Each structure stands twice: as structure tokens, then as C-alpha cells.
Structure 1
Amino acid sequence: MKHIFLLYSLVSLSISALAQEVVIDTNYYAPPPVVRKRVLTEDPDNNLEPRQSRASRRRSELIDQLNEVQTWYIGAESGFRSDASILSNSFDRLVSNPTPTKTSWSALVGYNFRNAWSIETGYTRAPIHLDISIANNASPLAFNYLNSGYGIPLRIKRRIGSGKQAANGTGFWITGGAWLTPNGAGQTGDFKLIGYSHLGRNRVDTLRLTNSTIVFKRVTGVAELGLDYTTRLSPHLELGFYARKYWGLGNALKADLVYTINNSAMQQATITANGTGWGIGVALRYIYGRQYEVKTL
């Protein structure tokens, strides 16, 4: 009887709990579903253009909108230069004065204004030569003299022709200027030569030739006029080619020659050298500073 009563009590409690249960529909209070938008962008790993190249391209696009107002540069030139001398008497072609062609080089600094005018100065290594050649059968005797070999140039350039409208740094230029040439000690020397001339069985003439060469201690000069062509290799590098004509403004070297036959018949001659000649070469310039302005349309 107790067991039946206990079972009855448990069943009654279960029915009472079910009657009190409240079911709440949570769907009404749930927030709306989130809609995810799928946005695709370019994978940076697939961009083959380096970041530095993109920056350089953007910089180039900006520079294309600008004009160069002023630039400053340092440069180096190297080429070949010839300088002739003047002989007053060849002693019936016994003596000649060859025109040597030697290498020369310069280190320069310069300033460019509006890609139309330039001025530059620096140091030039281009000795002035005086060469003497003495006829001696198939192998002539050669004597070579030169001054200290350096000069201080001052050069002005002006852009010409259609190149004036070309890109910055490219085009033809007319150049003109002058050098100061401290002659210094240089390379000098004297020589004495003796020879014999057989005019018959019983006649032998004794020939003597003496020379004294000096380098003038005073400062002389060289004037120049030339044509340059310049092309821009990069924002900071320029390559140029030049051809120039030089005129001496004062004698740098002088040779005095005396020619005698049998110590009686005497002739004299002089050779002078002042740097007159031609030059060709190549130049490389590095632009280390510049100033821009916006182009006018």
C-alpha cells in the first residue's frame, strides 16, 4: 500500500511541473542575421612591380610636370689634345717641329641656369709641348719639352638649335672660355750635335747644331671655342662629347737653335709654343643639386 502511495505522489508532482512550464519563443527576439559582403582586392604577392620602382615612377611623373631652374654638378673630362709650335728656320729641312697629340683630363665644377646657360671651372691637366726633330737618315733625333702642364679654365656654355626645346640636360651647346696657365719649371734642356758632310774626296764640312730651350716663368693663357653635345643618362648623370679649338695668349716655351758649318757660316732659328691647337674628348657629370619650378601651360 505504501508503494502505491509513493508512486502516486511522484506522478502527481511530475504532472504539476509540466503544467507550470512556460515555453518562450526566442526567435522573435533574435537579432537579424549578419550579411557578409565579399570584397576581393588584389593580392600584394601578385604585384610584380617593386615598391621602389613604383616610387621612382611617381617621382618621374612629378618631375615631368616641372622645369629645371638651376642645377649644380661636378664632372670629369678626358680626351686628346694637339698643340702646335712655330719654327722660324728649318736649316734646309734639317730641323722640324712636329705637332704632338697627347691625352688630357680635367676635373670641374659647374652651374646651369634654366637649361640654357652654364658656367664651369676647375683643374685641367694639358701640358703645352715643344717638340724638335733633327733629320738623321732613316731615324731622326727627337727632343721633347713641355711646361708644368696644368691650367685653371673658366668656361661659359650656351644651348643652341632645336636642342633648346629638348628634355632637361640634352642638346648642343656652344662653349667659350679661357685658361690661366702657370708655366712653372716644366721639362727643359740643352743639346749639342756635331756631324760631317762629305762633298768630295778632299772636302769634309763640320756641322754643329746647338739648342737651348726655356720655359717662361710668367703666367700665360689659352682661349678656347668649342661645340658640346650632352645627353641625360639618368636624373643625376650626364654624358657629353666635345670638340674645341685653342689659341695661345702668350708663349709658354722657346727654343733657340744655332747652326754652323766649319765654325764660320752661322744660322739661327727659334721655335715657340703657346698652346694653340685642337682637342676632342668625352665628359661625365654628376648632378648633386637642383631647383625646380612648375611648368607654364
Structure 2
Amino acid sequence: MKHISLLFLLVGLSISAMAQEIVIDTSYYAPPPVVRKRVLTDDPDQNPNHHRLSTRREKSTYEQAYQLKETQTWYVGLDGGFRTDGSMLSNSFDGLISINSSTKASWSVLLGYTYRNAWTVETGYTSAPIHLNITIANGARPLTYNYQNSGYGIPLRIKRRIGLASRATNGTGFWLTAGAWLIPNGSVNLDDFRLIGYSYRNNRTRTDTLRLDNTTTTKSISGVAELGIDYSVRLSSSIEFGAYFRKYWGLGEAIRSDIVYTVNGIAQPQSTATANGTGWGFGIALRYIYGRQQEVKNHNQ
């Protein structure tokens, strides 16, 4: 048994030695290690500018292909300025009577509708009194009598855009305007005057007795026609600024004053002074666009 155990021990050692001899060291033949370059960049999902740039690119691309075009707008506006209105006199009685024109402030509150930035219709309330001013010569201190109607009107105005700016995408540009007012004249200050005076010779001897009798009336309703030009500029998507210049023609008499002149009890040809609103007007306007309808226009079509 001892010989058999010794035999197995020798065989095991020889096998172990052979196993150690066949182990091959492959480290010499191993390929060199791969060196990887690590580059870190910002996560686009964590960069807010990335979304902004993407949005801008998308918007720019969209705008190149499409454009929003206004088709209808609704606005409320306020304008103010100055208006002149003159009067007419049929007989001055050799310079005894004269009339004067007036220049007064005026203002309006208006509602408007614009179609395709080419046509506009507006209406509202206008405060622009019609005046009749009569002056009686009285040496160095003339007598003045001023009459005025109710002071308001209801205009209806149509505008048409003209000129090179008519191709603009908003209301900027020049507009040709035309319209008419309905004027309820109401009652005036019926301060009728009755004057008596005397004419003298060089020696202060009285020769003639002069008398003036006046009666002033108004018509219940009259009108005014207008023609003008406006300029408008869009300050923002909702605010518009404008300026206007207009010519007015009276339609019918608003205020009428009949003056009877007598000399020594003998009636002279009667004189009539009238005012109908004929004159000029200019001012500025501010409008707020509270409603808008748009259509998408494809440039590729």
C-alpha cells in the first residue's frame, strides 16, 4: 500500500508540473487599451435657450411660408381738435352790422369698422357747436351778440385708404374721408336785441333816429357734409394714432337772425345773418382696436 500511495503521489505531482508548463502568458500579445475621449455637452432638455432658438426657427420658417392678414377690425376712438365756422350777412347797413367767424375746440367719440384695411365706416357723437356772432358798430365800443346751437352732431363717415401705403398689412397710411352729420340744433339763447340810436351833424345837432330790431331762430334739424384726408399709424397691435384735416359745408340753416333797420320810422331793406356750420377742422385721434379677424395667407400659393 505504501508503494501504491507513493506512485499516485508521483503521478499527481508530474501532472501538476505539466499543467504549469502549458500555461501561456498572453499579456504580451494583448492589444493596447482603448483610450476613449470623453466630451461633455449641455443637455438640450435642460437649456431654456435651446427651446427659444427652436421656437424662433419654427416661427421664422412659418412666417416665411404664411402670413396673418387682417380682414376685419372694430375700434373705439377719441379725437379732438379745432373747428372754424363762419356766417353769412345779406346787408351790413353801410358797415353798421358785421359778423365774425369762430374757431373753437371740438371733440368726438366714435365707433368704427374696417374691412381689409381698405374701407372704414365710423359713427358716434361729436361736440362741435355752430356759432353766429353779430357785431353792431358803436363808436369805440362795439356791441357783440353771440348765438350758438345745441352743440352736438351725429356723424356718419366713410374712409378709403389711398397711396402707396394701401398695401400695408395694417391701417397705416393716408385715408380719403367723406361723410355727413345730422345736427339737432335745439334752442339758442334767444337774446333778441332792440337798439335805438341817433345820428348827429358836426355841430352835434341830432338829425336822424335809428332803430335795430333783431329776431333769432333755429331750425330743429340741419346737416353738414364733409370731405377730408386722414393719416393713421399703428403704434401697436391694438393702438392707432391719427391726424385729420377736413372741409365742412352746411346743409340748411342752423341759426338765423333777421334784423330790421329803420331810419326815422322808415324801414330799410332787411338784413339776414345765418350760420350753417360751413368751415374747416383739424385735429388728432387715438383709437383702440378691441376686435380683430384675421386670415392665414400662404405665400407659396
* 1:147 has 2:149 as partner: yes
Partner SS state of residue 184, structure 1: coil
* 1:295 has 2:300 as partner: no
Which structure has the larger Rg over C-alpha atoms?
2
Deviation, 1:147, is 1.0
Name the residue aligned to 1:269: 271
Partner SS state of residue 164, structure 2: helix
Partner SS state of residue 76, structure 2: strand
Cα distance change of structure 1 residues 296 and 142 upon mapping to structure 2, 3 Å threshold: farther
Cα distance change of structure 1 residues 80 and 113 upon mapping to structure 2, 3 Å threshold: same
Name the residue aligned to 2:217: 214
Q: Any idea what the Cα deviations from partners look like across 1:190-228, whole Å, max 9, x if unmatched?
A: 0112222212434432222121111122x2111111100
Residue 71 (structure 1) aligned to one of 64, 70, 73: 73
* 1:163 has 2:165 as partner: yes
Preserved contact between residue 117 and residue 169 of structure 2 (Cα < 8 Å): no
When normalised by structure 1's length, the TM-score is 0.78
Q: Distance in 1 between matches of 2:119 and 2:211?
A: 57
Q: Distance in 2 between matches of 1:125 and 1:211?
A: 28
Name the residue aligned to 2:103: 101
Q: Distance in 2 between matches of 1:36 and 1:296?
A: 47
Preserved contact between residue 78 and residue 282 of structure 1 (Cα < 8 Å): yes
Residue 208 (structure 2) aligned to one of 195, 202, 205: 205
Deviates more, 1:244-253 or 1:113-122: 244-253
Deviates more, 1:187-196 or 1:281-290: 187-196
Preserved contact between residue 180 and residue 224 of structure 2 (Cα < 8 Å): yes
Deviation, 1:265, is 4.8
Match runs of 1:1-297 below 5 Å = 38-40=40-42, 65-201=67-203, 202-217=205-220, 219-297=221-299
Preserved contact between residue 69 and residue 169 of structure 2 (Cα < 8 Å): no
Q: Distance in 1 between matches of 2:43 and 2:184?
A: 71
Q: Distance in 1 between matches of 2:188 and 2:286?
A: 29
What RMSD over aligned residues (CA atoms) do the two structures have, in Å? 2.8
Number of residue pairs the alignment of both structures matches: 254
Cα distance change of structure 1 residues 281 and 147 upon mapping to structure 2, 3 Å threshold: same
Preserved contact between residue 210 and residue 262 of structure 2 (Cα < 8 Å): yes
Cα distance change of structure 1 residues 290 and 214 upon mapping to structure 2, 3 Å threshold: same
Cα distance change of structure 1 residues 138 and 62 upon mapping to structure 2, 3 Å threshold: farther
Preserved contact between residue 169 and residue 230 of structure 1 (Cα < 8 Å): yes
Identical-pair percentage: 60
Deviation, 1:295, is 2.9
When normalised by structure 2's length, the TM-score is 0.77
Name the residue aligned to 2:33: none
Deviation, 1:88, is 0.5
Q: Distance in 2 between matches of 1:67 and 1:203?
A: 81
Q: Distance in 1 between matches of 2:123 and 2:245?
A: 17
Q: Distance in 2 between matches of 1:229 and 1:245?
A: 15
Preserved contact between residue 149 and residue 186 of structure 1 (Cα < 8 Å): no
Amino acid at match of 1:193: L
Q: Distance in 2 between matches of 1:295 and 1:179?
A: 38
Deviation, 1:296, is 4.3
Q: Any idea what the Cα deviations from partners look like across 1:72-110, whole Å, max 9, x if unmatched?
A: 000011111111111100010111111111111100000
Structure 2 residue ranges without an equivalent (≥5): 1-36
Partner SS state of residue 276, structure 2: strand
Preserved contact between residue 67 and residue 298 of structure 2 (Cα < 8 Å): no
